[in-house]
Amino acid sequence: MKLVIVESPAKAKTINNYLGKDYEVLASFGHVRDLPAKDGSVLPDEDFAMSWEVDAASRKRLSDIGNALKEADELILATDPDREGEAISWHVLDVLRGKKLLKDKPVSRVVFNAITKAAITEAMQHPRQIDEPLVDAYLARRALDYLVGFTLSPVLWRKLPGSRSAGRVQSVALRLVCERESEIERFRPQEYWSVGARLNEKSKSFEARLYSVDGRKTDKLDIASASEAEALKRAIEAGAFSVAAVDRKPTRRNPYPPFTTSSLQQDASSRLGFSPSRTMQIAQRLYEEGVITYMRTDAVQMAPEGIDEARRAIVKTFGSDYLPEKPRIYQTKAKNAQEAHEAIRPTDMFRHPDTLRGDADKHRLYELIWKRTLASQMRSAEIERTTADISVFATSRDIALRAVGSVVTFPGFLALYGVEAGADREDGDEDSRELPPLAVGDRPRLEEALIEQHFTQPPPRYSEASLIKKMEELGIGRPSTYAATMSVLQERNYVRLEKRTLIPEDRGRIVTAFLESFFNRYVEYGFTAQLEEQLDLLSNGKLAWKDVLRQFWTDFSAHVEEIRTFAFPRFWMP
DNA sequence: CAGTGAGCGAGCTTCCGCTTGACTT
């Protein structure tokens, strides 16, 4: 019998089915050990010695694994194919060796990117050993996070009473919220006017907007006062109209890629009103029931089986007109993506949402995943976009208007997964606006000249979901921790959630101001990205992990000492 | 003499990332 170790029990169950009787698959339930949450867990002065501690729950798991190992003649470590996965294998192996349970039994490491029979069978034929440089990169990451957090936090306690914590991830997330708030406070709304006309041709009304005045194209903010707008309105009212040019252009809109953790959290937030943590709780249940693939992922790729099933489901549901000739392949754009899993998708595309039993939230989330997955493989929507240039003549000014309309000539994926209003383009409403059939030389008549006052708007506050999206873009945090980071910022009273937007508390803003002033390097938006570059070199064997840590610690500790002993003026203390 | 209050010292907080139950409500 061969003993296989993976991290999650649901994954263990699936793999057990694929591998059959000669194997026993057990779950480690995540990292089996961690640094104790107290001082001295990493000792820079003792060559960065790290002390590991097995918690009570893991102790039980490890003894189960140990007992199974007694009956087994081989150990196969099959945790995720990324840095943290390699570390889990290393931790498990290190504990088993420490207990002298391994004897002389062979140990190997296998990795697969999708939990499918083909991928696992293939992986089993290519075993390797633990990737030590990758484990080293984990050790450097783990130690650095500990040293930053457990050094900066006490400095904060001392200098800013009431503050609670700082860290590589949470402090940057907090900074994003605070900087956005400052932008909003600095923002001065600017007045501008839109000018246009409601015209009529062949008994059908349509709207045209001001395009140019005296031969110069007008920009959004060009008409800044009521008097200018009214002058233009009078000129339009006095004029006559002629269609000078009509341009019809077919365009297409492509579907979105399948869900990652971050994009699922965003869409569940905007379309269903779920918080990221609620989304993850529901997704976890769907995963445990075997209904969806793993929900903590940064990959947009689907296993070939998934793509194939989606394509067959499209034909069955919509007919072959909705199926593109070739499968769509998506590329991950997120920085720092590890792509240890595939995208989040239904495990069975023929499991229609309406057949899913269970509560309403589960049904709604599954329906969103099902639709997004299916849509991601459907044909593009085809849209005919018409642009009509209309000159205004017989009036005091040289004015041109432009009318834009578009008609969906083939819905494609839009039949299933609509584009959210205002989601990614300002002129989104024009997608559905239809123009009458216009031809050059037509003389539409004026129904009404239109002017309207507007003010520019400040940037919006972040929601939990949009902050996570931003963090993902910066490569900060991981799918397994996005929701947790949102909770930390609130528990520390650094931010509060109001109408699903994040508002920084005074305490959060003071902490951010302090960190920006005295530890700017460590809360820069690119700090994690720079760290990741070093970790890449490390995992390629081009750097030694202790050298990376030593370089970091030399600068960091000297700087901390300087700030820690600096006598702040009394007024600093709140 | 009892109550008050100044002053002192001890103990506590804290990171990120991987994973579920075992808790309570």
Structural domain A138-186+464-572, CATH architecture: Orthogonal Bundle (1.10)
Q: Note the pLDDT of residue A404.
A: 95
Mean pLDDT on A60-82:
96
Q: Note the pLDDT of residue A312.
A: 98
Residue A564 pLDDT > 90: no
% pLDDT > 70, chain A: 96
Structural domain A2-130, CATH architecture: 3-Layer(aba) Sandwich (3.40)
Structure tokens at A358: 């269970």
How far, in Å, CA of A77 to CA of A154, rounded?
39
For this structure, is A366 an active site residue?
no
Backbone angles phi, psi at A288, to 5 degrees: -65, -30
Q: Where do the H-state alpha helices sit in A77-166? A: 83-98, 117-124, 132-159
Mean pLDDT on A529-545:
96
**CA-to-C1' span, A161 to B6 (A):** 22
Amino acid found at A301: Q
- Strand B: list positions under 7 Å from protein Cβ: 13-21
Which nucleotide comes closest to A336 if you measure CA to C1'? B17
Cβ neighbours of residue A485 closer than 8 Å, sequence gap 6 or more: A169, A170, A173, A471, A477
How far, in Å, CA of A533 to CA of A536, rounded?
5
Residue A107 pLDDT > 70: yes
Residue A358 pLDDT > 80: no
CATH homologous superfamily, domain A191-254+381-455: Topoisomerase I, domain 3 (2.70.20.10)
Mean pLDDT on A386-392:
96
Nearest to A299 by CA among A380, A376, A381, A413: A376
Q: What is the DSSP letter of A517?
A: H
Q: Do A2-130 and A261-376 share a fold?
A: no
Residue A421 pLDDT > 60: no
**CA-to-C1' span, A50 to B8 (A):** 35
> Is domain A261-376 in CATH 1.10.290.10, yes or no?
yes
Q: Note the pLDDT of residue A485.
A: 97
Residue A388 pLDDT > 50: yes
Mean pLDDT on A211-215:
93
% pLDDT > 90, chain A: 88
Mean pLDDT on A507-533:
96
**CA-to-C1' span, A45 to B14 (A):** 21
Residue A424 pLDDT > 60: no
**C-alpha dihedral sign at A130, A131, A136, A141:** negative
Which nucleotide comes closest to A153 if you measure CA to C1'? B14
Mean pLDDT on A397-413:
94
Nearest to A525 by CA among A233, A180, A209: A180
Nearest to A461 by CA among A495, A485, A425, A510: A495
Residue A422 pLDDT > 80: no
Please state, in angstroms and as integers, the Cα–Cα distance from residue A524 to each residue in A463, A505, A521, A553, following that order: 21, 21, 5, 17
Which nucleotide comes closest to A158 if you measure CA to C1'? B13
Tell me the per-residue pLDDT of A287-323, one tens digit each, with 9 for 90 and over. 999 999 999 999 999 999 999 999 999 999 999 999 9
Mean pLDDT on A535-546:
95
Cβ neighbours of residue A284 closer than 8 Å, sequence gap 6 or more: A295
**CA-to-C1' span, A270 to B9 (A):** 53
3-state secondary structure of A279: helix
Contact by Cβ (8 Å): A90, A144: no
Which nucleotide comes closest to A476 if you measure CA to C1'? B16
**CA-to-C1' span, A512 to B6 (A):** 36
Residue A80 pLDDT > 60: yes
**CA-to-C1' span, A74 to B21 (A):** 29
Q: Which of A138, A192, A287, A294 is flagged as catalytic?
A: A294
Cβ neighbours of residue A283 closer than 8 Å, sequence gap 6 or more: A264, A292, A295, A344, A365
**Which residue ranges make up each domain of chain A?**
2-130, 138-186+464-572, 191-254+381-455, 261-376
Q: With cut-offs at 50, 70 and 90, classify the pLDDT of residue A569.
A: low
Which nucleotide comes closest to A58 if you measure CA to C1'? B19
How far, in Å, CA of A375 to CA of A390, rounded?
38
Q: Which residue is nearest to nucleotide B20 (CA to C1')?
A: A29
